[in-house]
Amino acid sequence: MLRRRPATPRFAITSESLDALFRSHAPGMAVFVARKTMDAGVAGDLVAETFAQAYMHRAQFRGATQEEAVGWLYGIARHQVSHFVRRDRAEARAVERLGIQRPHLSDAELERLEDLAGISDLRRRVASHLEDLSHEQQEALRLRILEEQSYEQMAQHLGINEQAVRARVSRGMRTLADRLKDETGDIQELM
């Protein structure tokens, strides 16, 4: 006769377990998010939103262990970063233009988070590798990333078709990712 093994208790996402996860993993997650956004101030907001989303959607957690819960939280954090990068930059600029004050970390806290995330060093490395790209790729990345132009706007500005613009951006990003791969394993997500 086969004996059943006692089921291991499933890790539950509760307000208490989230509080414990926050205390143990929020600092590392803030560094993770700061490296993705290159903005220590935004990192604090996104980490807080990550845990708020985790609590609101706790019934969707399907893991069985605390380690799986941590992985689930980092997945939510990645989603928050993606959402910020795609949509919230324009909103953040509008909030600044209107003079609305967001809660901010102190200068010392921002500096500490930027140091932990190595943001200054990463910016220097990216800038150094950008200089190695062709002029066309540099210009395409500047227009797309810094000026946040659409591919259509870029095509008009550069006097080439949209497909060529997309190719320049893609090649430039791929080249940067390849050159930085050994230095930071997650540069493609960062960019």
Q: Is the whole-model pTM more than 0.85?
A: no
Over residues 61-80, mean pLDDT:
91
Asked if the structure places residue 39 within a domain, the reply is: yes
For the chain, how many structural domains are there in total? 2
Percent of the chain surpassing pLDDT 90: 11
Residues making up the chain, counted from first to last: 191
Q: What mean pLDDT comes out for the span 61-71?
A: 90
- The rounded distance, in Å, linking the Cα atoms of 125 and 87 is 27
Tell me what percent of the residues of the chain surpass a pLDDT of 70. Answer: 85
**Under a CB-based contact definition with an 8 Å cutoff, are residues 58 and 14 in contact?**
yes
The predicted-structure confidence for 23-37, as pLDDT tens digits, reads as follows 888 888 888 888 888
Claim to verify: residue 109 and residue 158 sit in the same structural domain: no
Q: Does residue 124 belong to any structural domain of this protein? A: yes
Based on the fold, state whether residues 40 and 75 are members of the same structural domain. yes
Q: Which of 54, 84, 117 is the last residue of a domain?
A: 117
Q: Which residue has the tokens 């500005």?
A: 157
In a domain, 88, yes or no: yes
What is the average pLDDT score of the chain?
A: 80
Question: Residue 5: left (phi > 0), alpha (psi -120 to 50), or beta?
Answer: beta
Under 8 Å CB-to-CB from 71, ≥6 apart: which residues? 63
Residue 101 placed within a domain? yes
Q: Binning pLDDT at 50, 70 and 90, where does residue 8 land?
A: low
Among 117, 142, 173, residue at a domain's last position: 117
Q: Which CA distances in Å does 100 have to 20, 46, 63, 83, 103? A: 32, 18, 40, 21, 10
pLDDT tens digits for range 82-131:
888 877 667 767 777 777 666 667 778 877 887 887 777 777 787 788 88
Q: Is the pLDDT of residue 189 over 70?
A: no
Average pLDDT of the segment spanning 159-163: 91
Annotate 68-80 with DSSP letters as a single string: HHHHHHHHHHHHH
Domain membership of residue 71 (yes or no) is yes
